């Protein structure tokens, strides 16, 4: 897979994947892809503690300005 992508730019890779997805009939592969998507999306969410710490640091930074 890595060798194939060397000559492709990001836009080409996305188009290729979209085309492949539109033809895909294997529900197990679709479920795995959905899980990967959800895992990536949730990896950007901060916990309550992380949000509190970030707010605290931003407040300190703004006070120093």
Count structural domains, the chain. Answer: 1
Residue length of the chain: 65
Q: Is the pLDDT of residue 65 over 80?
A: no
Query: Is residue 10 assigned to a domain?
Result: no
Are 5 and 13 in contact by the 8 Å Cβ rule? The answer is yes
Which domain does 61 fall in, by range? 26-65
Tens digit of each residue's pLDDT (9 = 90 or more) over 2-59 = 555 566 789 999 999 999 999 999 999 999 999 999 888 877 777 888 889 988 988 8
Query: Is residue 59 assigned to a domain?
Result: yes
Query: Is residue 18 assigned to a domain?
Result: no
**What does the angle CA 18 – CA 37 – CA 27 come to, to the nearest 5 degrees?**
65
Q: Is 54 left (phi over 0), alpha (psi -120 to 50) or beta?
A: alpha
Look up the pTM and report it: 0.51
């Amino acid at each position: 897979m890595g060798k194939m992508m060397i000559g492709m730019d990001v836009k080409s890779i996305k188009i290729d994947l979209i085309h492949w997805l539109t033809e895909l009939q294997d529900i197990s592969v679709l479920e795995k892809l959905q899980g990967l998507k959800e895992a990536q999306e949730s990896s950007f969410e901060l916990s309550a503690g992380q949000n509190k710490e970030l707010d605290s640091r931003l407040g300190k930074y703004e006070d120093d300005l």
